[in-house]
Amino acid sequence: MPGGPLQGEVRVPGDKSVSHRAVMLGALAEGTTHIHGFLEGEDTRATARAFERMGVRIEAPGDAERVVQGVGLHGLQGAGTIDCGNAGTGMRLLAGVLAGQAFDSVLTGDTSLSARPMARVIEPLQRMGARIESSDGGRPPLHVHGGQALRGIDYALPVASAQVKSALLLAGLYANGTTTVREPHPTRDYSERMLEAFGYPVRFEPGYASLDGGHSLRATEVYVPADFSSAAFFIVAATVVPGSELRLPAVGMNPRRIGLLHVLRAMGADIVEHDPRTSGGEPVADLLVRYAPLRGIEVPEAWVPDMIDEFPALFVAAAAARGRTVVRGASELRVKESDRIAAMAQGLRALGVSVDEAPDGAAIEGGRIQGGRIDSRGDHRIAMSFAVAAQLADGEVEIDDVVNVATSFPGFVDLAAGAGFGLREVSPAA
């Protein structure tokens, strides 16, 4: 289905990271938390279901709204096995919460999540006194034993990870003494900001977060910004499809998330931020994205953590650019919902694009994009990135294994088609 220039306005759904944390902190708070703009994705719904199973009442008075009746830090009830679905954020943050409970729990996930590394969170939690068992090689399922006395630690993360940092801070709520996390590169600070918004004393600055156990959380209102990572597919699409001019209102602009904007601008993109403001404590802006010819660049390694989820989309921008784009220092991409370096390299090659793979990145030679068939490996961001690539392809692009798009971006196909994408969903039986 050929697409045309992208035009008009696209409102992308709520931020996944913020939605997970809003449910968790709302559940652990005293009082009633209202969440506005909650992501109705499979990942965040799995987290909400987990807390409902642990005795938390969560109502959905409307689309993207949640009312969470907090039970306080010590009010959860054991639920046995909790299925986190596809969500690494859900599982890692829950491991931190559950390490501090009186009851035992088992955390499971789908095939992708079952292959993802959990030692990075198990090991520091064990240092805090947690008892957690995993499958071989630190893979899920995780058996988290309750009734352990946790103590604060001062921990330098070997790999920059907001999920691990957040798990330790959540366990730190239950620990004796001070839990401090130091990062090799600053990562998204939603947990810290939200703990503060829930009235919990926390000290933080880029690369550092610290709190003392024993305080409590007070319910609040949470306004979830539109997810920059979901907006990224439209930002790249409008940049690479000639004649496009697309507005994206109220996109979350947390500085730890917008590395892609810096990279695209360095490549020549035309992205204007209008009306920068704060909503629910988070910076947001309306974005206006116009088509612009891109040139390849070397992505500075220091920018990698600020765009860790945006590399699949960036690879497509690189394929559309003149010249070579080089990504290094991004080996974390190999342990996301899929091995994103391999998935993107294989998919782009299937569309005739030349890609040199490296252990920690890739070099992409921009040029012509052909039609072809893509295995998205069940990874939402791989599937959506190739939907963008398809807008430039000179033949049809068929993308397999796309159901997981709903983990982070329910309604993507309709929203994209409405903006001008030539895209339709075909059921497996068709």
Residues designated as active site: 309
Stretch of residues binding ligand S3P (CB under 6 A), selected from 140-148, 162-170, 317-325, 364-372? 162-170
Comparing CA positions, the residue from 392, 389, 364 lying closest to residue 376 is 389
| Residues 92-111 interacting with ligand S3P (rule: CB under 6 A) | none
The nearest distance, CB 349 to ligand S3P, in angstroms, is 24
349 labelled as ligand-binding?
no
Q: Does the footprint of ligand S3P cover residue 42 (CB under 6 A)?
A: no
Residues 6+ apart with CB under 8 A from 205: none
Judged by CB under 6 A, the residue of 6, 12, 17, 333 near ligand S3P is 17
CA separation for the pair 409, 389 (Å, rounded): 18
Q: Strands across the sheet with 208-212, in order?
A: 154-156, 178-182, 208-212, 202-205
165 labelled as ligand-binding?
no
CA separation for the pair 285, 249 (Å, rounded): 7
Judged by CB under 6 A, the residue of 40, 282, 309, 379 near ligand S3P is 309
- Nearer of residues 166 and 325 to ligand S3P, judged by Cβ: 166
The answer to whether 173 and 73 are in contact (CB under 8 A) is yes
Judged by CB under 6 A, the residue of 89, 220, 230, 404 near ligand S3P is 89
Q: Does the footprint of ligand S3P cover residue 308 (CB under 6 A)?
A: yes
Comparing CA positions, the residue from 32, 92, 42, 41 lying closest to residue 67 is 32
Q: Give me the amino acid identity at 373.
A: R
377 labelled as ligand-binding?
no
The nearest distance, CB 159 to ligand S3P, in angstroms, is 8
Backbone angles phi, psi at 72, to 5 degrees: 85, 165
Please give the size of the binding site for ligand S3P, defined by CB under 6 A.
11
For residue 149, count CB atoms less than 10 angstroms from its CB and return exposed for 0-12, middle for 13-18, buried for 19 or more.
exposed
DSSP state of 151: B
The nearest distance, CB 202 to ligand S3P, in angstroms, is 16
CA separation for the pair 286, 275 (Å, rounded): 6
Give the N- to C-terminal CA distance of the chain in Å, as an integer.
16
The answer to whether 267 and 208 are in contact (CB under 8 A) is no
Helix (H), strand (E) at residue 163: helix 162-172
- Nearer of residues 89 and 338 to ligand S3P, judged by Cβ: 89
Judged by CB under 6 A, the residue of 44, 86, 161, 179 near ligand S3P is 161
Judged by CB under 6 A, the residue of 47, 101, 187, 338 near ligand S3P is 187
Beta bridge partners of 274: 286
Please name the residue ranges forming H helices in 295-373. 311-320, 340-350
Q: Does the footprint of ligand S3P cover residue 166 (CB under 6 A)?
A: yes
Q: Does the footprint of ligand S3P cover residue 39 (CB under 6 A)?
A: no
Q: Does the footprint of ligand S3P cover residue 220 (CB under 6 A)?
A: no
- Nearer of residues 16 and 247 to ligand S3P, judged by Cβ: 16
Q: Does the footprint of ligand S3P cover residue 254 (CB under 6 A)?
A: no
The nearest distance, CB 260 to ligand S3P, in angstroms, is 13
Beta bridge partners of 305: none
Binding residues for 3-phosphoshikimate: 16-17, 21, 161, 163, 309, 336
Binding residues for phosphoenolpyruvate: 16, 88, 116, 163, 340, 381
Binding site residues, ligand S3P, CB under 6 A: 17, 89, 161-163, 166, 187-188, 308-309, 332
